[in-house]
Amino acid sequence: MSYVDAGYAVALASLFVYAIGLVLRRRRWARALKVSEVPAPGADGVPGPGERL
């Protein structure tokens, strides 16, 4: 492999891997957000601040 081919391969492969990694991170965090969503205080019996049981 020549230096030219190596340069193109490294640049394109690195950007591709980083882009895929970013898309996967975005998907993982979007899923985490969905899981962590809680009902608003006061709804479904969850007491809000200043609210007594």
Partner 1 sequence: MSEPVLVRRRPRWLDVVGVLGVVAMGFTVWLGLWVTPPDVVQGNLARLLYIHPPIATVALYWVGLVAAGGSLLYLWPRTRSLFWDRLAASAVEVGAVFSALTLVTGSLWGRPAWGVWWTWDARLTSTALLLLLEIGYMALRRVPAEPAIRARRCAVAALLIAIDIPIVHFSVDWWQTLHQGGTVLDPGFDLHVHGIMLWTLGLGFLAFSLIFVWLLGVRYQVEVLQDAVGDQELEVSLTERWSEDTELVGVASGDRDPHAGGGAP
End-to-end CA separation in angstroms for the chain = 72
* Smallest gap from residue 49 Cβ to partner 1 (A): 6
From the CB of 15, what's the least distance to partner 1, in Å?
6
49 binds partner 1 (CB under 8 A): yes
Q: C-alpha angle with apex 35: 32 to 40, nearest 5 degrees?
A: 120
Q: Answer yes or no: are the C-beta atoms of 51 and 44 closer than 8 Å.
A: no
Owner of token pair 């020549």? 2
Binding site for partner 1 (CB under 8 A): 2-4, 6-8, 10-12, 14-15, 18-19, 22-23, 25-26, 29-30, 32-33, 36-38, 41, 46-49, 52-53
